[in-house]
Amino acid sequence: MSSQAYYELYRGSSLGLSLTDTLDDLINEGRIEPQLAMKILSNYDRFVTEILAVQVRARLTFKGHLDTYRFCDEVWTFLIKDVTFKLDNQQTVHADKVKIVSCNSKRPGEA
């Protein structure tokens, strides 16, 4: 297993929240130890990141009005309003607000 630390971004997804809730229930019922739950979440972080990087090839473009941006602890956060997404199949989707979080995929010192 790699010693690389993975971001916990996807724990806030519906799948990540369901996993966290289930692990909490298992801990509260005494069926697993908290250390095992942390190991499972760590593996979840790693696998989701790797699967998205390797298997997802969809592309899209978007236009909108940049409302706010921040750069803190090597993480960019963009808040965009009135966003139009154009998908690979030329379908368009509109959103009033979008939050984009962008993290460096390489650790400090890596080429």
Domain-terminating residue out of 55, 70, 88: 55
Q: In which domain, by residue range, is 33 found?
A: 9-55
**Given this model, what pLDDT does residue 103 score?**
84
Distance (Å, whole) CA 101 – CA 111: 22
- Residue 69 is assigned to a structural domain of this protein: yes
Three-state DSSP at 19 gives helix
pLDDT band at 111 (very low <50, low <70, confident <90, very high): low
Q: Mark whether 95 and 75 lie in a shared domain.
A: yes
Tell me: the pLDDT tens digits for 12-67? Answer: 899 999 999 999 999 999 999 999 999 999 999 999 988 988 998 888 999 999 99
Distance (Å, whole) CA 53 – CA 107: 16
pLDDT band at 106 (very low <50, low <70, confident <90, very high): low
Query: pTM above the 0.85 mark?
Result: no
Distance (Å, whole) CA 52 – CA 49: 5
- Residue 3 is assigned to a structural domain of this protein: no
Report whether 84 contacts 93 (CB < 8 A).
yes
Domain-terminating residue out of 55, 71, 86: 55
Report whether 75 contacts 57 (CB < 8 A).
no
pLDDT band at 109 (very low <50, low <70, confident <90, very high): low
